[in-house]
Chains A and B, each alone.
Chain A
Amino acid sequence: MDFGQFLSYIASGTVYTVGVTLIALPSGLLIGTILALLYVYGGKITAGIMNLYSTIFRGIPPVVLLFILFFAVSKGINLSAFWAGSLSLGVVSSAYQMEIVRGALLSVSGDQLMTARAVGLSRMQAIRSVVLPQAVRLAIPPWSNEAAIVIKDSSLVYALGVPEILRRAQLIGASSQKYLLAYLSAAVIYFLLVFATTRLLTMLENKLAIPSNP
Protein backbone atom coordinates (compact mmCIF):
# COMPACT_ATOMS: atom_id res chain seq x y z
CA MET A 1 0.00 0.00 0.00
CA ASP A 2 1.55 3.28 -0.98
CA PHE A 3 1.40 6.30 1.25
CA GLY A 4 -1.31 7.95 -0.80
CA GLN A 5 -3.70 5.01 -0.36
CA PHE A 6 -2.70 4.76 3.27
CA LEU A 7 -3.43 8.38 4.00
CA SER A 8 -6.62 8.50 2.00
CA TYR A 9 -7.97 5.45 3.82
CA ILE A 10 -7.52 7.21 7.15
CA ALA A 11 -8.64 10.58 5.83
CA SER A 12 -11.89 9.15 4.49
CA GLY A 13 -12.97 8.84 8.11
CA THR A 14 -13.07 12.63 8.30
CA VAL A 15 -16.61 12.75 6.97
CA TYR A 16 -17.76 10.71 9.99
CA THR A 17 -15.73 12.78 12.42
CA VAL A 18 -17.20 15.97 11.01
CA GLY A 19 -20.68 14.44 10.95
CA VAL A 20 -20.56 13.42 14.59
CA THR A 21 -19.23 16.84 15.57
CA LEU A 22 -21.87 18.68 13.56
CA ILE A 23 -24.58 16.84 15.46
CA ALA A 24 -23.04 16.83 18.91
CA LEU A 25 -21.83 20.41 19.08
CA PRO A 26 -24.96 22.30 17.94
CA SER A 27 -27.33 20.04 19.88
CA GLY A 28 -25.12 20.57 22.91
CA LEU A 29 -25.33 24.31 22.34
CA LEU A 30 -29.10 24.37 22.01
CA ILE A 31 -29.73 22.23 25.08
CA GLY A 32 -26.92 23.86 27.04
CA THR A 33 -28.20 27.39 26.39
CA ILE A 34 -31.77 26.55 27.37
CA LEU A 35 -30.60 24.83 30.53
CA ALA A 36 -28.24 27.69 31.37
CA LEU A 37 -31.09 30.21 31.10
CA LEU A 38 -33.19 28.01 33.36
CA TYR A 39 -30.31 27.67 35.77
CA VAL A 40 -29.62 31.40 36.05
CA TYR A 41 -33.15 32.76 35.83
CA GLY A 42 -35.36 29.88 36.83
CA GLY A 43 -35.42 29.91 40.60
CA LYS A 44 -33.90 27.71 43.27
CA ILE A 45 -35.53 24.36 42.55
CA THR A 46 -34.83 24.57 38.82
CA ALA A 47 -31.26 25.56 39.54
CA GLY A 48 -30.90 22.50 41.72
CA ILE A 49 -32.12 20.22 38.95
CA MET A 50 -29.79 21.85 36.44
CA ASN A 51 -26.90 21.43 38.81
CA LEU A 52 -27.73 17.74 39.09
CA TYR A 53 -27.82 17.39 35.30
CA SER A 54 -24.45 19.08 35.04
CA THR A 55 -22.91 16.89 37.74
CA ILE A 56 -24.19 13.66 36.21
CA PHE A 57 -23.24 14.27 32.62
CA ARG A 58 -19.90 15.82 33.40
CA GLY A 59 -19.17 12.97 35.75
CA ILE A 60 -19.81 10.01 33.46
CA PRO A 61 -17.10 9.06 30.97
CA PRO A 62 -18.70 9.82 27.59
CA VAL A 63 -18.00 6.31 26.32
CA VAL A 64 -20.19 4.85 29.08
CA LEU A 65 -23.10 6.98 27.94
CA LEU A 66 -22.41 5.86 24.38
CA PHE A 67 -22.72 2.22 25.39
CA ILE A 68 -25.85 2.79 27.43
CA LEU A 69 -27.53 4.61 24.59
CA PHE A 70 -26.44 2.18 21.91
CA PHE A 71 -26.96 -1.12 23.69
CA ALA A 72 -29.61 -0.47 26.27
CA VAL A 73 -31.80 2.43 25.20
CA SER A 74 -31.95 1.36 21.58
CA LYS A 75 -33.56 -1.92 22.53
CA GLY A 76 -36.76 0.05 22.23
CA ILE A 77 -35.84 2.72 19.70
CA ASN A 78 -33.47 1.56 17.01
CA LEU A 79 -30.51 3.89 16.90
CA SER A 80 -27.64 3.43 14.50
CA ALA A 81 -24.12 3.56 15.89
CA PHE A 82 -23.63 6.96 14.32
CA TRP A 83 -26.72 8.49 15.94
CA ALA A 84 -26.27 6.79 19.29
CA GLY A 85 -22.72 8.11 19.34
CA SER A 86 -23.51 11.62 18.15
CA LEU A 87 -26.43 12.09 20.51
CA SER A 88 -24.50 10.76 23.51
CA LEU A 89 -21.72 13.20 22.78
CA GLY A 90 -24.31 15.92 22.33
CA VAL A 91 -25.77 15.23 25.77
CA VAL A 92 -22.35 15.23 27.42
CA SER A 93 -21.37 18.41 25.60
CA SER A 94 -24.62 20.07 26.64
CA ALA A 95 -23.61 19.76 30.28
CA TYR A 96 -20.30 21.49 29.65
CA GLN A 97 -21.86 24.08 27.39
CA MET A 98 -24.47 24.83 30.01
CA GLU A 99 -21.67 25.76 32.38
CA ILE A 100 -20.05 27.94 29.71
CA VAL A 101 -23.25 29.84 28.93
CA ARG A 102 -24.09 30.09 32.61
CA GLY A 103 -20.70 31.62 33.29
CA ALA A 104 -21.17 34.07 30.45
CA LEU A 105 -24.65 35.06 31.64
CA LEU A 106 -23.38 35.65 35.16
CA SER A 107 -20.47 37.69 33.84
CA VAL A 108 -22.84 40.16 32.30
CA SER A 109 -23.35 42.47 35.24
CA GLY A 110 -26.67 42.28 37.01
CA ASP A 111 -26.90 46.02 36.56
CA GLN A 112 -27.48 45.55 32.85
CA LEU A 113 -30.57 43.52 33.60
CA MET A 114 -31.75 46.00 36.20
CA THR A 115 -31.29 48.94 33.85
CA ALA A 116 -33.23 47.21 31.11
CA ARG A 117 -36.09 46.66 33.56
CA ALA A 118 -35.89 50.33 34.54
CA VAL A 119 -36.45 51.30 30.91
CA GLY A 120 -39.61 49.21 30.98
CA LEU A 121 -38.52 45.93 29.37
CA SER A 122 -40.03 42.76 30.77
CA ARG A 123 -37.68 40.21 32.31
CA MET A 124 -37.73 38.03 29.20
CA GLN A 125 -37.15 40.97 26.89
CA ALA A 126 -34.30 42.18 29.08
CA ILE A 127 -32.62 38.78 29.06
CA ARG A 128 -33.05 38.38 25.34
CA SER A 129 -32.17 41.90 24.17
CA VAL A 130 -29.60 43.01 26.72
CA VAL A 131 -28.04 40.09 28.59
CA LEU A 132 -27.80 37.42 25.90
CA PRO A 133 -26.12 39.58 23.21
CA GLN A 134 -23.42 40.51 25.69
CA ALA A 135 -23.13 36.96 27.01
CA VAL A 136 -22.58 35.57 23.52
CA ARG A 137 -19.42 37.58 23.11
CA LEU A 138 -18.13 36.43 26.48
CA ALA A 139 -18.92 32.81 25.67
CA ILE A 140 -16.98 32.51 22.42
CA PRO A 141 -13.47 31.85 23.83
CA PRO A 142 -14.49 29.03 26.20
CA TRP A 143 -16.81 27.69 23.51
CA SER A 144 -13.95 27.48 21.08
CA ASN A 145 -12.28 25.25 23.63
CA GLU A 146 -15.36 23.03 23.87
CA ALA A 147 -15.53 22.76 20.07
CA ALA A 148 -11.96 21.47 19.99
CA ILE A 149 -12.81 18.95 22.69
CA VAL A 150 -15.87 17.64 20.86
CA ILE A 151 -13.92 17.24 17.63
CA LYS A 152 -11.40 15.10 19.45
CA ASP A 153 -14.00 13.27 21.56
CA SER A 154 -15.81 12.31 18.36
CA SER A 155 -13.23 9.55 18.09
CA LEU A 156 -15.02 7.78 20.96
CA VAL A 157 -17.71 6.57 18.56
CA TYR A 158 -15.15 4.10 17.27
CA ALA A 159 -16.26 1.91 20.16
CA LEU A 160 -19.62 1.48 18.43
CA GLY A 161 -18.04 0.75 15.07
CA VAL A 162 -18.39 4.10 13.34
CA PRO A 163 -15.57 4.14 10.76
CA GLU A 164 -14.13 7.49 11.73
CA ILE A 165 -10.52 8.67 11.62
CA LEU A 166 -9.15 6.96 14.72
CA ARG A 167 -10.73 3.57 14.01
CA ARG A 168 -9.38 3.62 10.47
CA ALA A 169 -5.94 4.45 11.77
CA GLN A 170 -6.18 1.50 14.17
CA LEU A 171 -7.24 -0.93 11.44
CA ILE A 172 -4.71 0.13 8.88
CA GLY A 173 -1.99 0.30 11.50
CA ALA A 174 -2.70 -3.22 12.71
CA SER A 175 -3.05 -4.59 9.21
CA SER A 176 0.13 -3.03 7.86
CA GLN A 177 2.11 -2.97 11.08
CA LYS A 178 2.85 0.70 10.36
CA TYR A 179 1.42 2.01 13.63
CA LEU A 180 3.45 5.16 14.03
CA LEU A 181 2.62 6.35 10.55
CA ALA A 182 -1.06 5.56 11.03
CA TYR A 183 -1.40 7.43 14.30
CA LEU A 184 0.69 10.34 13.13
CA SER A 185 -1.53 10.69 10.10
CA ALA A 186 -4.60 10.66 12.31
CA ALA A 187 -3.03 13.25 14.61
CA VAL A 188 -2.30 15.56 11.70
CA ILE A 189 -5.87 15.37 10.44
CA TYR A 190 -7.32 16.07 13.89
CA PHE A 191 -4.92 18.95 14.32
CA LEU A 192 -6.00 20.50 11.03
CA LEU A 193 -9.68 20.17 11.96
CA VAL A 194 -9.19 21.77 15.36
CA PHE A 195 -6.95 24.49 13.98
CA ALA A 196 -9.39 25.48 11.26
CA THR A 197 -12.28 25.55 13.74
CA THR A 198 -10.53 27.69 16.32
CA ARG A 199 -9.35 30.11 13.65
CA LEU A 200 -12.91 30.49 12.38
CA LEU A 201 -14.15 31.15 15.88
CA THR A 202 -11.48 33.75 16.50
CA MET A 203 -12.59 35.50 13.33
CA LEU A 204 -16.16 35.40 14.61
CA GLU A 205 -15.07 36.80 17.94
CA ASN A 206 -13.33 39.70 16.23
CA LYS A 207 -16.29 40.39 14.01
CA LEU A 208 -18.66 40.56 16.98
CA ALA A 209 -16.37 42.57 19.24
CA ILE A 210 -17.88 45.78 20.55
CA PRO A 211 -15.79 48.80 19.54
CA SER A 212 -14.18 50.83 22.29
CA ASN A 213 -11.38 53.31 22.74
CA PRO A 214 -8.95 51.73 25.18
Chain B
Amino acid sequence: MKKYLLLAVALILVGALLVGCASESTSVLDKIQKAEKVSVGTSADYPPYEYLDDAGNKTGFDIELMEEIAKRMGVELEWVDMPFDSLVAAVAGGKLDMSISCFNYDEERDKTVDFSEAYYTTEDAFVVTSAFTGTISAPEDVANYKVGVQSGTVQDGWLTDNLVTPGLLPEANLSRYERVDQAALDLANGRIEVLMGDYVPVQALVAQNPDLQIVYRGVLSTGPINIVLPDGDVELKAEVDRIIQELQAEGFIDELAVKYFSE
Protein backbone atom coordinates (compact mmCIF):
# COMPACT_ATOMS: atom_id res chain seq x y z
CA MET B 1 0.00 0.00 0.00
CA LYS B 2 2.70 2.42 0.98
CA LYS B 3 4.45 2.02 -2.36
CA TYR B 4 1.33 2.92 -4.29
CA LEU B 5 0.74 5.85 -2.00
CA LEU B 6 4.15 7.28 -2.71
CA LEU B 7 3.56 6.76 -6.41
CA ALA B 8 0.24 8.52 -6.18
CA VAL B 9 1.72 11.37 -4.17
CA ALA B 10 4.52 11.74 -6.70
CA LEU B 11 1.98 11.92 -9.49
CA ILE B 12 0.00 14.49 -7.58
CA LEU B 13 3.07 16.67 -7.23
CA VAL B 14 3.65 16.45 -10.96
CA GLY B 15 -0.01 17.10 -11.62
CA ALA B 16 -0.03 19.97 -9.18
CA LEU B 17 2.92 21.58 -10.91
CA LEU B 18 1.25 21.34 -14.27
CA VAL B 19 -2.29 22.13 -13.30
CA GLY B 20 -2.01 23.97 -10.03
CA CYS B 21 0.10 26.77 -11.43
CA ALA B 22 -2.46 27.56 -14.03
CA SER B 23 -5.44 27.54 -11.70
CA GLU B 24 -6.01 30.30 -9.21
CA SER B 25 -5.39 29.25 -5.63
CA THR B 26 -8.62 29.67 -3.75
CA SER B 27 -8.29 29.18 -0.06
CA VAL B 28 -9.96 26.01 1.11
CA LEU B 29 -11.52 27.96 3.94
CA ASP B 30 -13.28 30.16 1.40
CA LYS B 31 -14.51 27.11 -0.41
CA ILE B 32 -15.79 25.56 2.82
CA GLN B 33 -17.59 28.72 3.86
CA LYS B 34 -19.15 29.21 0.45
CA ALA B 35 -20.41 25.61 0.32
CA GLU B 36 -21.34 25.76 4.00
CA LYS B 37 -19.90 22.29 4.21
CA VAL B 38 -16.59 20.77 5.24
CA SER B 39 -15.62 17.34 3.99
CA VAL B 40 -13.50 15.45 6.48
CA GLY B 41 -11.78 12.14 5.97
CA THR B 42 -11.40 9.44 8.58
CA SER B 43 -10.84 5.72 8.82
CA ALA B 44 -13.50 4.51 11.18
CA ASP B 45 -11.79 1.28 12.13
CA TYR B 46 -9.84 2.58 15.15
CA PRO B 47 -11.77 2.51 18.40
CA PRO B 48 -12.01 4.56 20.53
CA TYR B 49 -10.84 7.41 18.28
CA GLU B 50 -13.12 6.59 15.36
CA TYR B 51 -15.36 3.57 14.96
CA LEU B 52 -18.98 2.54 14.40
CA ASP B 53 -21.67 2.38 17.03
CA ASP B 54 -24.42 -0.23 17.16
CA ALA B 55 -26.50 1.65 14.67
CA GLY B 56 -23.61 1.82 12.23
CA ASN B 57 -22.95 5.51 12.78
CA LYS B 58 -19.52 6.98 13.25
CA THR B 59 -18.56 7.66 16.82
CA GLY B 60 -15.43 8.19 18.88
CA PHE B 61 -13.12 10.80 20.34
CA ASP B 62 -12.02 12.25 17.01
CA ILE B 63 -15.52 12.09 15.61
CA GLU B 64 -17.17 14.05 18.37
CA LEU B 65 -14.35 16.56 18.45
CA MET B 66 -14.60 17.20 14.73
CA GLU B 67 -18.37 17.56 14.90
CA GLU B 68 -17.96 20.29 17.47
CA ILE B 69 -15.30 22.04 15.40
CA ALA B 70 -17.57 22.04 12.34
CA LYS B 71 -20.39 23.42 14.44
CA ARG B 72 -18.17 26.26 15.58
CA MET B 73 -17.06 26.91 12.00
CA GLY B 74 -20.73 27.27 11.21
CA VAL B 75 -20.75 24.64 8.50
CA GLU B 76 -22.19 21.19 7.87
CA LEU B 77 -19.90 18.23 8.34
CA GLU B 78 -19.59 15.61 5.61
CA TRP B 79 -17.70 12.50 6.65
CA VAL B 80 -15.73 10.60 4.04
CA ASP B 81 -14.49 7.20 5.09
CA MET B 82 -11.24 5.91 3.58
CA PRO B 83 -8.55 3.44 4.49
CA PHE B 84 -5.98 5.17 6.71
CA ASP B 85 -3.26 4.95 4.09
CA SER B 86 -5.27 6.92 1.56
CA LEU B 87 -6.23 9.86 3.78
CA VAL B 88 -3.11 12.00 3.50
CA ALA B 89 -3.00 11.69 -0.26
CA ALA B 90 -6.67 12.59 -0.42
CA VAL B 91 -6.14 15.83 1.50
CA ALA B 92 -3.04 16.64 -0.52
CA GLY B 93 -4.95 15.97 -3.70
CA GLY B 94 -7.84 18.21 -2.77
CA LYS B 95 -10.29 15.34 -2.44
CA LEU B 96 -10.87 16.18 1.21
CA ASP B 97 -10.86 19.50 3.05
CA MET B 98 -9.14 17.96 6.05
CA SER B 99 -8.75 14.71 7.92
CA ILE B 100 -8.91 13.60 11.51
CA SER B 101 -7.79 10.06 12.22
CA CYS B 102 -5.42 10.06 15.17
CA PHE B 103 -2.58 11.51 13.08
CA ASN B 104 0.77 12.13 14.66
CA TYR B 105 3.06 14.78 13.21
CA ASP B 106 5.39 13.23 10.69
CA GLU B 107 8.06 14.89 8.58
CA GLU B 108 7.25 12.73 5.61
CA ARG B 109 3.60 13.70 5.74
CA ASP B 110 4.48 17.36 6.28
CA LYS B 111 5.89 17.52 2.77
CA THR B 112 2.46 17.32 1.20
CA VAL B 113 0.07 18.46 3.93
CA ASP B 114 -0.03 20.73 6.94
CA PHE B 115 -0.93 19.94 10.55
CA SER B 116 -3.16 21.79 12.96
CA GLU B 117 -2.15 22.47 16.48
CA ALA B 118 -2.14 19.36 18.62
CA TYR B 119 -5.51 18.55 20.12
CA TYR B 120 -4.38 15.67 22.30
CA THR B 121 -1.31 13.66 23.14
CA THR B 122 -0.96 9.94 22.76
CA GLU B 123 1.53 7.38 23.81
CA ASP B 124 2.94 4.20 22.32
CA ALA B 125 2.48 0.75 23.73
CA PHE B 126 3.86 -2.71 23.12
CA VAL B 127 1.39 -5.57 23.48
CA VAL B 128 2.06 -9.27 23.87
CA THR B 129 -0.01 -12.34 24.66
CA SER B 130 0.11 -14.22 27.92
CA ALA B 131 2.15 -16.88 26.13
CA PHE B 132 5.04 -14.48 25.64
CA THR B 133 8.22 -15.63 27.37
CA GLY B 134 10.65 -12.89 26.39
CA THR B 135 11.69 -9.71 28.15
CA ILE B 136 11.10 -6.16 27.07
CA SER B 137 12.78 -3.81 29.52
CA ALA B 138 13.67 -1.22 26.92
CA PRO B 139 11.82 -0.44 23.67
CA GLU B 140 14.78 -1.57 21.55
CA ASP B 141 14.35 -5.09 22.97
CA VAL B 142 11.45 -5.76 20.61
CA ALA B 143 14.02 -6.15 17.85
CA ASN B 144 14.55 -9.68 19.15
CA TYR B 145 11.03 -10.74 18.32
CA LYS B 146 8.53 -10.81 15.52
CA VAL B 147 6.82 -7.44 15.49
CA GLY B 148 3.57 -6.24 13.96
CA VAL B 149 2.48 -2.66 13.29
CA GLN B 150 -0.14 -0.72 11.33
CA SER B 151 1.31 0.36 8.01
CA GLY B 152 1.92 4.05 7.42
CA THR B 153 1.70 4.98 11.08
CA VAL B 154 4.33 6.78 13.12
CA GLN B 155 4.96 3.51 14.95
CA ASP B 156 5.76 1.98 11.59
CA GLY B 157 8.18 4.83 10.96
CA TRP B 158 9.79 4.48 14.38
CA LEU B 159 10.35 0.74 14.01
CA THR B 160 11.71 1.14 10.50
CA ASP B 161 14.07 3.99 11.28
CA ASN B 162 15.29 2.82 14.68
CA LEU B 163 15.33 -0.94 14.40
CA VAL B 164 15.10 -2.15 10.83
CA THR B 165 17.41 0.28 9.06
CA PRO B 166 20.29 -0.10 11.58
CA GLY B 167 19.88 -3.85 11.15
CA LEU B 168 18.69 -4.66 14.64
CA LEU B 169 15.34 -6.02 13.48
CA PRO B 170 15.33 -8.11 10.27
CA GLU B 171 12.87 -6.78 7.70
CA ALA B 172 11.29 -10.20 7.50
CA ASN B 173 10.37 -10.06 11.16
CA LEU B 174 8.38 -6.84 10.79
CA SER B 175 4.81 -7.37 9.60
CA ARG B 176 2.81 -4.40 8.42
CA TYR B 177 -0.96 -4.42 8.48
CA GLU B 178 -3.58 -2.23 6.94
CA ARG B 179 -5.49 -1.97 10.20
CA VAL B 180 -4.56 -2.43 13.84
CA ASP B 181 -7.24 -5.05 14.43
CA GLN B 182 -5.64 -7.25 11.76
CA ALA B 183 -2.35 -7.00 13.65
CA ALA B 184 -4.14 -7.88 16.87
CA LEU B 185 -5.56 -10.98 15.25
CA ASP B 186 -2.14 -12.14 14.20
CA LEU B 187 -0.85 -11.43 17.66
CA ALA B 188 -3.58 -13.62 19.14
CA ASN B 189 -2.81 -16.50 16.76
CA GLY B 190 0.93 -16.28 17.22
CA ARG B 191 2.07 -15.00 13.83
CA ILE B 192 3.64 -12.03 15.54
CA GLU B 193 4.92 -11.84 19.09
CA VAL B 194 4.76 -8.11 19.79
CA LEU B 195 2.38 -5.47 18.53
CA MET B 196 3.37 -1.82 18.58
CA GLY B 197 0.60 0.71 18.46
CA ASP B 198 -1.10 3.72 19.93
CA TYR B 199 -1.72 3.26 23.64
CA VAL B 200 -5.40 4.16 23.69
CA PRO B 201 -6.78 1.94 20.93
CA VAL B 202 -4.48 -0.85 21.97
CA GLN B 203 -5.77 -0.49 25.49
CA ALA B 204 -9.30 -0.94 24.10
CA LEU B 205 -8.20 -4.17 22.44
CA VAL B 206 -6.61 -5.40 25.65
CA ALA B 207 -9.76 -4.61 27.60
CA GLN B 208 -11.69 -6.87 25.26
CA ASN B 209 -9.17 -9.70 25.16
CA PRO B 210 -7.83 -10.90 28.54
CA ASP B 211 -5.11 -12.83 26.76
CA LEU B 212 -3.35 -9.61 25.74
CA GLN B 213 -1.24 -7.44 28.00
CA ILE B 214 0.66 -4.21 27.62
CA VAL B 215 4.33 -4.57 28.51
CA TYR B 216 5.51 -1.07 27.74
CA ARG B 217 3.98 2.33 27.59
CA GLY B 218 5.64 5.60 26.75
CA VAL B 219 6.19 8.29 24.19
CA LEU B 220 8.43 6.99 21.40
CA SER B 221 6.96 7.77 18.05
CA THR B 222 3.79 9.42 19.15
CA GLY B 223 3.08 12.43 21.14
CA PRO B 224 0.68 15.07 19.97
CA ILE B 225 -2.08 14.18 17.53
CA ASN B 226 -3.24 16.72 14.97
CA ILE B 227 -5.76 17.33 12.27
CA VAL B 228 -4.35 17.01 8.76
CA LEU B 229 -4.91 20.13 6.66
CA PRO B 230 -4.26 21.10 3.05
CA ASP B 231 -0.74 22.29 2.38
CA GLY B 232 -0.13 26.01 2.66
CA ASP B 233 -3.63 27.11 3.60
CA VAL B 234 -2.79 29.53 6.44
CA GLU B 235 -6.33 30.85 6.85
CA LEU B 236 -7.85 27.43 7.37
CA LYS B 237 -5.13 26.48 9.81
CA ALA B 238 -5.63 29.69 11.77
CA GLU B 239 -9.36 29.03 12.03
CA VAL B 240 -9.00 25.39 13.08
CA ASP B 241 -6.27 26.20 15.59
CA ARG B 242 -8.37 28.92 17.08
CA ILE B 243 -11.26 26.55 17.66
CA ILE B 244 -9.02 23.85 19.13
CA GLN B 245 -7.61 26.37 21.63
CA GLU B 246 -11.14 27.44 22.50
CA LEU B 247 -12.22 23.87 23.12
CA GLN B 248 -9.18 23.16 25.22
CA ALA B 249 -9.76 26.24 27.35
CA GLU B 250 -13.38 25.25 27.90
CA GLY B 251 -12.42 21.75 29.03
CA PHE B 252 -14.41 20.20 26.17
CA ILE B 253 -11.52 18.02 25.07
CA ASP B 254 -10.80 16.80 28.60
CA GLU B 255 -14.45 15.73 28.96
CA LEU B 256 -14.22 13.80 25.71
CA ALA B 257 -11.06 12.09 26.93
CA VAL B 258 -12.81 10.98 30.09
CA LYS B 259 -15.76 9.72 28.06
CA TYR B 260 -13.70 7.65 25.65
CA PHE B 261 -10.39 6.88 27.33
CA SER B 262 -11.31 5.88 30.85
CA GLU B 263 -9.86 2.56 31.74
Contacts and interface: CB of A to CB of B under 8 A. Distances in A.
The answer on direct contact between A and B (beta carbons under 8 Å) is yes
A74 B8 CA distance: 12
Interface stretch (A32-40, A139-147, A160-168): A160-168
Interface stretch (A87-95, A98-106, A169-177): A169-177
Interface in B8-31: 8-9, 11-12, 14-16, 19-20
Given A71-B89, A159-B83, A179-B185, A171 B45 contact: yes
Contact of B45 (A64, A76, A174): A174
Question: At the interface, is chain A mostly helix, strand, loop or mixed?
Answer: helix
A56 to B, nearest CB: 16
A212 interface: no
Contacts of B47: 174-175
Given A75-B94, A171-B45, A5 B54 contact: yes
B44 A68 contact: no
B11 A72 contact: yes
Interface in B157-208: 179-181, 185, 205, 208
Interface residues of B, number: 41
Residue of B12, B51, B82, B185 ringed by the most chain A CB atoms within 10 A = B82
A207 to B, nearest CB: 41
B123 interface: no
B86 A68 contact: no
A70 interface: yes
Contacts of B41: 161
A173 B19 CA distance: 40
B221 to A, nearest CB: 21
Interface residues of A, number: 30
A2 to B, nearest CB: 8
Contacts of B80: 161
B138 interface: no
Contact of A175 (B4, B44, B85, B95): B44
B89 A172 contact: no
Contacts of B95: 70-71, 74, 81
B94 A172 contact: no
A175 B11 contact: no
Interface string B45-60: 1110001111110000
A41 interface: no
Interface string B85-109: 1100110011100000000000000
Interface string A61-73: 0011001101111
Contacts of B52: 9, 171-172, 175-176
A86 to B, nearest CB: 16
Nearest to A10: B56
Contacts of B46: 174
Interface of B: 4-5, 7-9, 11-12, 14-16, 19-20, 41, 44-47, 51-56, 80-83, 85-86, 89-90, 93-95, 179-181, 185, 205, 208-209
Closest 4 CB pairs of A and B: A174-B45, A161-B82, A72-B11, A175-B51
Interface of A: 1, 5, 9, 63-64, 67-68, 70-76, 81, 158-161, 163, 167, 170-177, 179
12 contacts: A1-B54, A1-B56, A67-B8, A70-B95, A72-B15, A76-B19, A161-B83, A167-B83, A172-B56, A175-B45, A177-B181, A177-B208
Given A9-B52, A72-B8, A177-B208, 8 more contacts: A70-B8, A71-B90, A75-B12, A159-B85, A160-B86, A161-B83, A170-B179, A173-B45
